[in-house]
Amino acid sequence: MEKLPPLSDQALGYVLQFAPSAALLKQLGEDSPQWEEAMMVFQRVLYATRFMAPFDWMKAFSGSKRAEMEDASLLDTADIEQVRRLLIAHVRADRFCPGHLSSIIRDGYLDRALDRLRVLSVAP
């Protein structure tokens, strides 16, 4: 599997800073303009920081590997590149299935992925 281009600590910091608060969004509801705005800002930050990087995510998470994309427990031991690949795949999946990102907010997957990135970003 090809490696993703490196992500700077500063870029990761911006991603975490502008990540949507799932708890707040859930209180506001998916129909609120704030939900839509938070998702739009987050996606812009992902692209602006080059967190998003090209790789064949459809191939990487096809067939039996599709379950890896949906299994939040895998995030507990994932390294930064694995978490990044998973989040890239979820963002790209949203282009084909609008509302996908909202679903990973609702089910807690995005929070778990961001929490893992926070842990890894302070690790030596």
pLDDT of residue 63: 87
How does residue 123 score in pLDDT terms, banded at 50, 70 and 90? low
Main-chain dihedrals φ then ψ at residue 97, nearest 5 degrees? -135, 80
Tokens of residue 87, six digits: 């989040």
Please state the pTM of the whole predicted model: 0.92
Q: Is 81 left (phi over 0), alpha (psi -120 to 50) or beta?
A: alpha
Task: Give the residue-averaged pLDDT of 79-97.
Answer: 95
pLDDT value for 122: 78
d(CA 95, CA 81): 22
Quick one: what percent of the chain has pLDDT higher than 90?
81
- Residue range 84-97: mean pLDDT, rounded: 95
Side-chain half-sphere CA neighbours of 59 within 13 A: 5
Q: What are phi and psi of 50, to 5 degrees?
A: 65, 25
Looking at residue 124, its pLDDT comes to: 54
Torsion angle of the four alpha carbons 100, 105, 108, 110, in this order, in degrees rounded to the nearest 10: 80
The pLDDT of residue 120: 94
pLDDT tens digits along 5-62? 999 999 999 999 999 998 888 898 889 999 999 999 999 999 999 999 999 999 999 9
As a whole number of angstroms, the distance between CA 75 and CA 4 comes to 18
